[in-house]
Amino acid sequence: MNLAFLNLSSNNFYGDLPDCWSHLAAVVMLDFSNNAFSGKIPMTIGSLWRIETLKLRSNRFVGELPSSLKNCTRLQVIDMGDNELSGSIPKWLGVSLKNLVILILSSNHFNGSMPSQLCHLTRIQILDFSVNNISGSIPKCLNNLTNMAQKQNSSLTSTHTYNKDDYGFHSFLGDINYEDEASFIWKGRMQTYKSTLGLVKRIDLSSNRLTGEIPSEITHLVKLVSLSLSRNRLTSQITSEIGNLQSLDSLDLSRNQIDGRIPTSLARIDRLSFLDLSYNNLSGKIPTGTQLQSFDPLIMLKMLYFVNLDLKRCVLIKLSQLT
Ligand SMILES: *[C@@H]1O[C@H](CO)[C@@H](O)[C@H](O)[C@H]1NC(C)=O
Ligand SMILES: *[C@@H]1O[C@H](CO)[C@@H](O)[C@H](O)[C@H]1NC(C)=O
Ligand SMILES: *[C@@H]1O[C@H](CO)[C@@H](O)[C@H](O)[C@H]1NC(C)=O
Ligand SMILES: *[C@@H]1O[C@H](CO)[C@@H](O)[C@H](O)[C@H]1NC(C)=O
Ligand SMILES: *[C@@H]1O[C@H](CO)[C@@H](O)[C@H](O)[C@H]1NC(C)=O
Ligand SMILES: *[C@@H]1O[C@H](CO)[C@@H](O)[C@H](O)[C@H]1NC(C)=O
């Protein structure tokens, strides 16, 4: 009953989780990632009202997210990536779990549309719904995700501290700290971030069935470091305000049905080191701005441009500052 941390990750556990969590009210961190657990996520998981980190990544869980999770209002990290979960993305995620910083539901079978209530997640820093079956349009209210929109500096790590007075039974250990970490695909490779996690602000909605335009409101998220909307069915044009995303390191809009010109404002993003606009219907010139021209020649050599305007397809990949 006093158990606060339960980490069974990276083992070979399998089978259903028993539905008897109601006695574990002290749990703040539960990590069952990288096992072979299956079946539904038990309803009594909602009794873990103190839980802040819930990681069930890379298992074989099926069914919907249990609605009892809305009881776990202290949750900051949910990573359920790489399972076989289905159903829609619940509205209550945005209504009840306002402390969420990391929400990873990638590589599952979620469908339906993105509820606008997600915009209530003002502390969110990583929103990853990639590789699902999500349809409809991208909510316009994304500019409400203030943690991604505010210019002030954020802390480097995401640390949880447990004061011994809250957990009298731990007093022999003193205060306890742990830092969150998160793993996701970054520039084509699975990477794990911990000591710099606080700086990672990303939205990944790639490989879904999203339609409509890229909402211009997204350009308010000036702290966004990575944005991937690739492999959807997005249409219309890239807003010229995209250049406002001055923190962007990686932008992937490839494999959609976007038309029009490549906005020249893209050349203003100093930090951009990965840009993929391939497999759209873009035309016109590759923007050459101050940034694109002012690279030092050595770095320039490591940049790769590949343009094929004849096909009205344009691929622009810039790989700079490689070591
Ligand atoms: C669980 O343990 C593994 C292996 O030691 C570690 O990599 C992981 O970060 C731990 N999980 C949490 C949430 O601290
Ligand atoms: C929600 O949490 C309360 C304690 O805050 C607990 O009594 C209740 O059983 C929980 N509800 C569910 C559905 O787990
Ligand atoms: C997506 O939905 C379609 C039709 O609803 C279905 O045929 C397909 O298997 C689903 N894909 C995934 C990855 O769930
Ligand atoms: C979502 O998938 C389920 C089957 O898993 C299906 O019954 C439902 O119609 C789908 N919803 C949408 C909006 O595609
Ligand atoms: C977005 O923020 C504005 C101002 O804070 C608020 O009025 C609006 O209801 C919010 N919208 C959503 C969908 O969260
Ligand atoms: C691509 O854009 C051109 C105009 O630039 C338009 O004429 C053509 O129909 C578009 N093709 C597709 C497949 O949308």
Which residue segments constitute the domains of the chain, with CATH numbers given? 5-202 (3.80.10.10), 235-323 (3.80.10.10)
Q: Are 119 and 91 in contact (CB under 8 A)?
A: no
How confident is the model over 88-115, as pLDDT tens digits? 999 999 999 999 999 999 999 999 999 9
Looking only at the bridges linking them, the beta strands covering 29-31 and 5-7 are: parallel
> What pLDDT band is residue 322 in, cutting at 50, 70 and 90?
very low
Cα(120) to centroid(ligand 5), Å: 7
Can you tell me the mean pLDDT for 13-25? 92
> Which residue carries 């590949």 as its tokens?
306
| Gap between the Cα atoms of 179 and 15, Å rounded | 29
Ramachandran region of residue 129, left (φ > 0), alpha (ψ -120 to 50) or beta? alpha
Give, for ligand 2, the residue of 43, 49, 51, 75 to mutate: max count of ligand atoms closer than 8 Å to Cβ: 49
Can you tell me the mean pLDDT for 117-138? 94
pLDDT the model gives residue 199 = 74
> What pLDDT band is residue 189 in, cutting at 50, 70 and 90?
confident
> Which residue carries 């309803």 as its tokens?
43
Can you tell me the mean pLDDT for 256-272? 86
The ligand 1 atom nearest the CA atom of 7: 1
Residue type, 283: S
> Which residue carries 């699902």 as its tokens?
132
pTM as predicted: 0.86
* Cβ neighbours for 7, distance < 8 A, ≥ 6 positions apart: 29, 30, 31
Can you tell me the mean pLDDT for 49-61? 94
| Gap between the Cα atoms of 16 and 37, Å rounded | 6
Rg of the chain over all Cα atoms, to the nearest angstrom: 21
How confident is the model over 272-317, as pLDDT tens digits? 877 888 888 887 766 665 454 443 333 333 333 333 333 334 345 4
Which DSSP category does 113 fall into?
B
| Gap between the Cα atoms of 240 and 261, Å rounded | 9
3-state secondary structure of 233: coil
Cα(197) to centroid(ligand 1), Å: 15
Any atom of ligand 1 within 6 Å of the Cβ of 31? yes
Can you tell me the mean pLDDT for 180-192? 74
Tell me which of 155-169, 205-219, 240-254, 307-321 is least confident: 307-321
Cα(140) to centroid(ligand 5), Å: 11
SS (H, E, C) 12-68: CCEEECCCCHHHCCCCCEEECCCCEEEEECCHHHHHCCCCCEEECCCCEEEECCCHH
Any atom of ligand 5 within 6 Å of the Cβ of 25? no
Cα(110) to centroid(ligand 4), Å: 9
Tell me which of 122-136, 149-163, 164-178 is least confident: 164-178
Q: Where are the alpha helices (DSSP H) in the chain?
A: 92-96, 146-149, 290-293, 297-301
Q: Give the torsion through C-alpha atoms of 79, 82, 87, 93, to 10 deg.
A: 10
pLDDT the model gives residue 263 = 86
Looking at the chain, the whole-number percentage of residues with pLDDT higher than 90 is 51
Can you tell me the mean pLDDT for 223-242? 93
pLDDT the model gives residue 250 = 86
pLDDT the model gives residue 184 = 73
Can you tell me the mean pLDDT for 24-41? 94
pLDDT the model gives residue 298 = 36
